Amino acid sequence: MVLEFFKRGSQTPIDEIHATLVQMLLDGHDVFVTASDALFGGGKSKETKREVRSTDKGINEAQASIRRNLMIHAAVNSGDLAVVLQYASIVKDAERVGDYAKNLYDLVRYGADFDSAPDRDELLGYRNAVANLILEAAGVFEAVDKDRAQALIGKADGFLDEYDDHVKAMCKADGSTQDAVPRALYYRFLKRTTAHIMNVLTSLVQPLDRLDYYDEAKEDR
């Protein structure tokens, strides 16, 4: 586990990789909030579109940098192979947060607006829960805090079922597709973002072969 590596107490290029991944999560939080704010009254604008795209591009560039540095590190430090493979696995999960933020902003571009919706408080509450999850996960991962990671995974896992329930409800809703479709997609994007953040946290509590399962259905993990 990454936790075991950091117990060495030495400074290596892996420390820079770790810091870069933490920054990816922080940037993911920012772009998630920016994109979802547009759904709750912010609306679409060239400025918001530019900010979402530029932040996501920075996250993508950070992922590429981590992958390059992992290749270099593995070439000269074969003993760190397990750590290299862990980072190579979870960096793609951190990168996906920016992708789903873009998906959320696409809903705004397509005309979705939750600001005056009767269920606005519920929709916004889930948005805030995911935003807080991303931010807290960044702190937990930075501190390599195994206990907090396990607690956060357990807390977030409960939200996955709630998002699924909302998607199912929207598929059976009697209202207009104009209301149901954006909500179904919204909850789906929240679920995927949550699952990818949980995958990042697994690197603190699971062995290498057990990483990357929270974006699968529970029965398939």
Q: What is the CATH number of the domain that holds 175?
A: 1.20.58.220
C-beta of residue 117 within 8 angstroms of C-beta of residue 80: no
Tally of CB atoms within 10 A around 206: 18
What is the arithmetic mean of pLDDT over 159-180? Answer: 92
- Model confidence at 175: pLDDT above 60: yes
DSSP line for 41-70: TT---HHHHHHHHHHHHHHHHHHHHHHHHH
What is the arithmetic mean of pLDDT over 121-131? Answer: 98
Domain range for residue 148?
2-220
pTM more than 0.85? yes
- Looking up tokens 């195994």, which residue turns up? 146
What is the arithmetic mean of pLDDT over 135-164? Answer: 95
| Between 194 and 177, the higher pLDDT residue | 194
What is the arithmetic mean of pLDDT over 155-178? Answer: 92
Whose CA is closest to 149, among 209, 193, 197, 201? 201
pLDDT of residue 216: 60
pLDDT of residue 3: 44
User: Per the structure, how many domains does the chain have?
Assistant: 1
CB-based contacts of 125, cutoff 8 Å, min separation 6: none
pLDDT, tens only, 60-84:
999 999 999 999 999 988 778 889 9
